[in-house]
Chain A
């Protein structure tokens, strides 16, 4: 099946810093989603971004489907940004999501 790799696996940030999370995938995909898993385990939808660039407040995402990667940018990080960020892709001909292992982000004050 499709492989989804996220990097870096762990990231510690000073509050106010910027960061970039990367998601590489091994095959063509129809859709891509970024999630933030909060401390209670809830997966919060951040972006639904099969291609192009989207922005939502301090977060933005870019997917380059032809090169099989997506980037999630966090600017001016806050302690509430801490948690695990998951990239999930939907391969062509399939309706399930395949998840990466996540990026564990800790923002320290």
Chain B
């Protein structure tokens, strides 16, 4: 597609359940980033993938969060045993190469009840 796509657009889950969020970057972009936006914390970095290099996981808030990127394209962010404080909009971005201009998807709004 022309831009970064994310699914689902909205996800409501119960506390303790696992969720998977998907990101499809712009075709040909080698770098992929996950951020989240919450009322209290603003926009914060979670994890970054560049090609086949080891991802930069330094922004993940706990070991309940993990992400993978298969085949250098689609990425999945997994949150295990969700907590209410995980409620936020999860944004994915991609760039042509590392450090280049980043383009964002529409986000997934996660609500944990």
Q: Which residues in A have some Cβ–Cβ distance to B below 8 Å?
A: 30-31, 33, 35, 40-43, 45, 48, 86, 88, 90, 95-102
Contact = CB atoms under 8 A, between A and B. Distances in A.
Contacts of B56: 95-96
Interface residues of B, number: 24
24 contacts: A30-B99, A31-B99, A33-B102, A35-B104, A41-B37, A41-B109, A42-B106, A43-B91, A43-B104, A45-B101, A86-B43, A88-B102, A90-B99, A95-B50, A95-B98, A95-B99, A96-B33, A96-B59, A97-B45, A97-B93, A97-B102, A100-B42, A101-B42, A102-B42
Contacts, number: 50
Nearest to A100: B42
Nearest to A47: B101
Contacts of A35: 104
B23 interface: no
Report whether over half of chain A's contact residues are helix, strand or loop; otherwise say mixed.
strand
Contacts of B77: none
A33 B101 CA distance: 8
B110 to A, nearest CB: 13
Report whether over half of chain B's contact residues are helix, strand or loop; otherwise say mixed.
strand
Nearest to A86: B43
Given A30-B99, A43-B91, A101-B42, A95 B31 contact: yes
B101 A99 contact: no
Contacts of A97: 33, 35, 45, 93, 102
Contact of B43 (A30, A31, A40, A99): A99
